[in-house]
């Protein structure tokens, strides 16, 4: 697998605080190629041998703003237990409903733009329904749950200039842990 060269901006870079712009259709060839490259990059990052060879940190989601492009696009490539990938290309997302139940990642949420260990929990909705456009501009709707719901919320935050660390209570990083379910 050839790993595309992708520059991912670090949390110190102000561009990550930019609110991304709505995307119009049809997409240009450069945007389509970057979507494909981002998915290939994420898949490579989840392969231990490739990740080690290319010095990649594992990631399952990538928002365009993390690559310095303020467009409302993110991709997810999540490796399943059977080694296949669940892929999502999400353009102009909008959360239209969410569960009351809150969950958090037990070992802590991570981000390809945050290159340091972070203590604390990030409250996320266990299920979200998202309205979005597919790569051809068709309006779609998807209901995601558990780890994919967390990934969607994490990436949508990026599009709004928010990092996961913003959700962690600085004085009490494990605040309200008992009111949420760990996954």
- Distance CA(105)–CA(123), nearest Å, equals 9
Nearest to 122 by CA among 104, 110, 102: 104
- Distance CA(36)–CA(34), nearest Å, equals 5
146 is catalytic: no
This prediction has a pTM of 0.95
Q: What is the architecture of the domain spanning 14-182? A: Alpha-Beta Complex (3.90)
List 87, 107, 109, 155, catalytic entry: 155
- Distance CA(35)–CA(71), nearest Å, equals 12
- Distance CA(9)–CA(29), nearest Å, equals 23
Per-residue pLDDT reduced to its tens digit, 127-158: 999 999 999 999 999 999 999 999 999 999 99
Decide the pairing of beta strands 181-182 and 102-104: parallel
> Residues 158, 66: contact at Cβ < 8 Å?
yes
pLDDT value, residue 103: 97
Q: Which helix (H) or strand (E) holds 29?
A: helix 29-45
Distance of CA 26 to the CA centre of its chain: 23
Query: Which one-letter DSSP state was computed for residue 15?
Result: G
Which residues of the chain fall short of a pLDDT of 70? none
End-to-end Cα separation, the chain, in angstroms: 31
> Residues 93, 131: contact at Cβ < 8 Å?
yes
pLDDT value, residue 30: 96
């Amino acid at each position: 697998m050839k790993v595309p060269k992708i520059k991912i901006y670090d949390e110190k870079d102000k561009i990550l605080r930019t609110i991304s712009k709505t995307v119009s259709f049809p997409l240009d060839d450069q945007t389509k190629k970057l979507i494909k490259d981002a998915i290939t990059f994420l898949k490579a990052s989840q392969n231990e041998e490739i990740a080690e060879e290319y010095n990649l940190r594992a990631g399952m989601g990538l928002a365009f703003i993390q690559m310095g492009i303020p467009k409302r696009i993110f991709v997810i490539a999540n490796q399943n237990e059977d080694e296949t990938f669940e892929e999502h290309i999400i353009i102009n997302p909008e959360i239209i409903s969410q569960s009351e139940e809150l969950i958090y990642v037990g070992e802590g949420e991570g981000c390809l733009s945050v290159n340091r260990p972070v203590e604390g929990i990030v409250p996320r909705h266990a299920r979200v329904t998202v309205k979005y456009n597919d790569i051809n501009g068709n309006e779609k709707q998807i209901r995601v749950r558990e780890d994919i719901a967390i990934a969607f919320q994490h990436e949508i935050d990026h599009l709004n200039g928010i990092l996961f660390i913003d959700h962690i209570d600085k004085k009490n990083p494990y605040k309200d842990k008992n009111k949420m379910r760990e996954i």
